[in-house]
Structure formats: structure tokens, C-alpha cells
Chain A
Amino acid sequence: MRHIIIGAGPSGVVAAETLRKADPAAEIYLIGDEPEPPYSRMAIPYFLVKKVTEEGTYLRNASHYAEQEIAYISQHVSSVDTQAKQLGLADGSSLPYDKLLIATGSYPVAPPIPGIDLPNVHSCWTLEDARQIASLAHEGANVVLMGAGFIGCIILESLKMRGVNLSVVEMGDRMVPRMMDEKAGGLLKKWCIEKGVNVLTSTKITAITEVGDEDGSGMSVALDNGDSLPADLVITATGVKSNIAFLEGSGIETKDGIVVDDYLQTSVADVYASGDVAQGKDLSTGEYHVQAIQPTAVDHGRIAALNMAGKQVKHHGNINMNVLDTLGLISHSFGLWMGVDGGDSVEIYNPDLYKYLNLRFGVDDQADILVGASTLGMTQHIGVIRGLIESKTHLKDWKAHLMQDPTRIMEAYLASTQVLDNIV
């Protein structure tokens, strides 16, 4: 039995390890198309501030794959022939498989504006990008960050810590609009401005032009409000798309990402998909879409691998969740953080203290079930929010307590889920 995994991110690596455990005799290939050993994109911000070396971003240590008898191949896969069950590689060779996992993740996209291809305009996605950014984002450099979404905000802190003059330009009306509501996003903006970041929301970059400094690095970034910003470096963080182009003609059904069933199998037998490329099930909504978060990616990888090994393990879905540390202000969102129609919610909002907490409950027979939450300035025991949402725990009387005082979430969790027989 030969298992091939395309994509050496967290989902692919976990899948390979799971396969090794579940199917000890199998041949396992892990294919990545970047020059470095499998690494974590999530660690790039920490590499940028030198908290870790390049090696510190690696998902596993150097000898791990050999020890696990996982054959790591550094190659770009250019096609999949699902009839012949073989892959076409960029070097012209082909590689047959019995079971295939596609975990190719996503790639950054930038808007088609004039100047987007200039040499000092970079995305921040790969280690190579990070090296380029590190070489340009020196102390005092003018840096414009295009996009204040999740990825933009993650990079924001490292840029600030490198001592650059930072401007952030976001089209939406607030920071991280897909993770935070107006209040939380608004507080985050206020916080960043207070920490010396120039934050422009509801603003578009219309063009980037070279202004011909002596060293040739100077750029001017034109905004739709008529202003312009000087820039030595422009970083684009304006969204990502699934890596599915190479599947054209393979017969594998794709929409935004690869369509999968509840066993993470694609429309073609023996071909599975996982991680940021897969439209897996969202536990909160029951819908299938790309979630693109680390915990989901590794869950996918594990469950897909078990199914490849013949274990018949159903994927029940993952909740969406995020954690963000923006210049020391920690925020979270979980599940249906924007709430559901007719569901109760309770909120604490203390703008001068940068504190925010919002709990969302379901409706009807789920009225005492937590379905979503967002927080600002909270760090302790935060995981229980995932626990409560995912387990669909009926909070019973504790819902009323939480509606009165949502900070008692940990008590509510313990009383509702743990072995506390004596708690009334």
C-alpha cells in the first residue's frame, strides 16, 4: 500500500504520522514544493522578530521523517491522473499511488493594482518571503501593510517590534472584520494607534509607484482618499486562495477548495483532501467550506489519514476559532461569534480598559448552549470556550448566571462538564 501526501504543512505532516501509526507496513510519501524541510507558516512572525531561528519554524526535527520511514520529496506536483492513479511531477517523472491526500494549502493573492509587482512589494507567506521582509524591514524603515485581516495582524506585531514606521491600510471598516465585530475591531484599532501604528480603515490602496530614491528602494503608496504614504517596503496580506490549479482535468470536484465528504474523501475514490485546501464541515453551521486554521488542519490530516488506512472515521466538523496577539492585546473568536438570529447574547465592553467579552447562545432547544464567543484581553482557560461550543453542553441554570456575569465562564464550564457531583 502506497500513501502519497501532497503538501508538507501541518495537515500533511500529521497525516503522514497518523498513517505510519495506523498502517505500519505502508509506504508513505510526503511531497513539499518549498526548498526547506516542512515548516510552520504560523511561526514566521516569531522568526521575523528573531524569537526563533529558521530551524525553530520546522514542524519536526531533521531526523524525524527518516525515523518514521516517511519519504520526503521536495518537488512540485503538476498534475494528478486519477484514472491511472499517478502524479505528474515538475521534473517530468510520475509517481503512482494507492491512496492520495491533497493537503496543498493555499497561496496569497494580491489585488491587481499598478505597482503590485514592484521588487519591494512582498506577501508574507513563505520563509523566503520572510527573509526578504527581514532584509528590508529595518529600524526606521517606512513599511505599509496592505490588509488588516488575521494574517496582517499577526505580522503587524513583528513589524512593529522590528522598529519600523508602520502604516496599515484596510479596505474594511475595521481591523480583522472576519474575526471581530465593530466593538472589538474598533478597540483593536484604538490600541494599535496608541502603540504608534498608523491604522487606516475603510481605505484602499490604488497604486504603488517608485519615486526614485538614490538607492532605488523608495516607493509611494497612493490611497483612495487622495493621500499617499512613503514606503521602503509594502507587504500584502489581502487574502489567500486554495492551491487547486494543478487538479484541473483530474475529475476532482472543486469549488473554493476541494469538495470532501464526511470522511474527507474527494469526489474521486481513494483521493482525500485536508487542511486549508479542503472544504471540510463546519461544526457550527453544518456547512462545508475552507476554514484555514491550524487546529482544523491537523484534525483533518489525522482523520483523513485514518480513513486512508481503512479505519472509517467520520469527521464531525470543526468550529472556527482564532487567537491573535496584537502588540500585547490578546483576542479570540470562537464559532458563531457574530451570533445567531434569535439567540441570546451577553456582553461586557470596557473600552478604556481594552476589555471585551461576548458570549452567544443558540435558539430553541439550544438556547442554553454556547455557540460562539469573542474576547479581548482574556488569556486564562480560554480553551473551555471551544470545549463548551464543540460539546454542545447544555448549561442549564448556568446560562442565567452567565447572562448576569459572563466572566464566570470557567465556573459554568466546570459545573456543567466536569466530575463535580457535589456542585448543585
Chain B
Amino acid sequence: MQKSLHLDPAKCTGCLQCELACSYEKLGEFNPSRSLIRVFTFHFEGRFAPYTCTQCDEAWCQRACPVDAITMDLATGAKVVNDDKCVGCKVCTISCPFGTVNYVQETGKVAKCDLCGGDPECAKSCPTGAITFIDANLTGYERMQAYAEKSLPSAEASA
């Protein structure tokens, strides 16, 4: 059974341990601005929402890449950016309707969540269980996919 990240805003306190863990794993430094999972604060509503790529089947990013730099990790289902191939054209960043592929000025390439090869650091670092890595069919992930298919005309109707 493939696993995916389950993000539960109701449990999030906005502490950013996930952003610290992600950047520490990927860059070897604590750099929340370059974390591949981000926590959004709804100040007026008093809520926090962790947010990252759901590794959606549509993979708009992968399809839009002109140089085949985004491929699927068959073990985890993650869509992974191949840094050797990415030219930094940013087409994937405007294509992903979830906004989870970002251009990184420092590297001249794009970056997105790759599930840490199957053991995501964000989930391990979360002190409140707002981020968990569990069986995909339990994550509410289907609801998100349903959203995509329902509301986005460019989603693959016959998938």
C-alpha cells in the first residue's frame, strides 16, 4: 500500500518544526524559506495549515516539463525533480494548480516535495500529529484528488 502525507490543520500549532526538518534534510541547514512543506497562518481565523505536494496522479508539473526533468519515484509515487535535467524554465511552477512546485533563485532550479524517499522528515518532526505519513486511502487525499478532477478542466477525465 502506498503511503501519503496526511495534513491536519486542526492539529497544527504553526511551530514550523516541519519546515526546519525539511530544510535540514534537503539542504543541511535550517532554512524555512526553502522548505518544501510550508505552514500558512490564518491570523484572523486563528488557524494554521501545513501544505505541500500531494503527489497527485495528474502530475501537471511532470507533464508540463519541457525537458523530462520531473519523474515518478516508482517506490513511493513521488514526483521528483531531477536537478541534473531541470533548466529552471519555471513552466511547472505555473502549471501546478496547487502551487507546490517553486522556483528557487539560489539554485536556478525548481524544487518540490519528494517524500524524502519514503520516510518524510516533516512527519517525524511534527510534535502534534498534524503531519502523518499513512496509507494513502486513509489520508483524505482522495478528497483532494476529487477536488482536482471535479474542478480543474485540465484534469484527465478518463484517468
- A–B contact, 8 Å CB criterion (strictly below): yes
Is B127 on the interface with A (CB-CB < 8 A)? no
Give Cα distance in the complex from A58 to B44, angstroms.
Answer: 48
Taken residue by residue from 57 to 68, chain B's Cβ proximity to chain A (1 for < 8 Å, 0 otherwise) reads as 000100110111
- The A-B contact count (CB < 8 A) is 157
Q: Which residues of B contact A116 (CB under 8 A)?
A: none
Is A386 on the interface with B (CB-CB < 8 A)? yes
Is A14 on the interface with B (CB-CB < 8 A)? yes
Return A103 CB to nearest CB of chain B, in Å: 14
Q: Contact residue range for chain B? A: 35 or more
Contact indicator A382/B42 (Cβ below 8 Å): no
Instruction: Tell me if A's interface is mostly helix, strand, loop or mixed.
Output: mixed
Is B85 on the interface with A (CB-CB < 8 A)? yes
Q: Among B24-32, B45-53, B116-124, which stretch is in contact with chain A? A: B45-53
Contact indicator B98/A42 (Cβ below 8 Å): no
Return B144 CB to nearest CB of chain A, in Å: 6
A residues lining the B interface (CB < 8 Å): 10, 14, 40, 42-43, 46, 51-52, 56-61, 283, 294-295, 298-299, 302, 306, 311, 313-314, 316-318, 321-323, 325, 328, 330, 332, 334, 379-387, 390-393, 401, 410-411, 413-415, 417-424
Return A193 CB to nearest CB of chain B, in Å: 21
B residues lining the A interface (CB < 8 Å): 7, 9-10, 38, 40, 42, 44-45, 47, 49, 51, 60, 63-64, 66-68, 85, 87-91, 93-103, 105, 108, 140, 143-144, 147, 151-154, 156-158
Contact indicator B93/A379 (Cβ below 8 Å): yes
Contact indicator B140/A295 (Cβ below 8 Å): no
Give Cα distance in the complex from A422 to B130, angstroms.
Answer: 13
Q: Which residues of A contact B140 (CB under 8 A)?
A: 419
Contact indicator A383/B45 (Cβ below 8 Å): no
Q: Given A51-B87, A313-B157, A382-B94, answer yes or no on A56-B103 (Cβ-Cβ < 8 Å).
A: no
Q: Which residues of A contact B94 (CB under 8 A)?
A: 295, 321-323, 332, 334, 382-383, 385-386
Q: Which residues of B contact A413 (CB under 8 A)?
A: 99
Instruction: Give the contacting residue for B101; candidates A51, A295, A299, A383; CB below 8 A.
Output: A383
Instruction: Give the contacting residue for A417; candidates B44, B96, B147, B154; CB below 8 A.
Output: B147
Return B6 CB to nearest CB of chain A, in Å: 10
Return A287 CB to nearest CB of chain B, in Å: 15
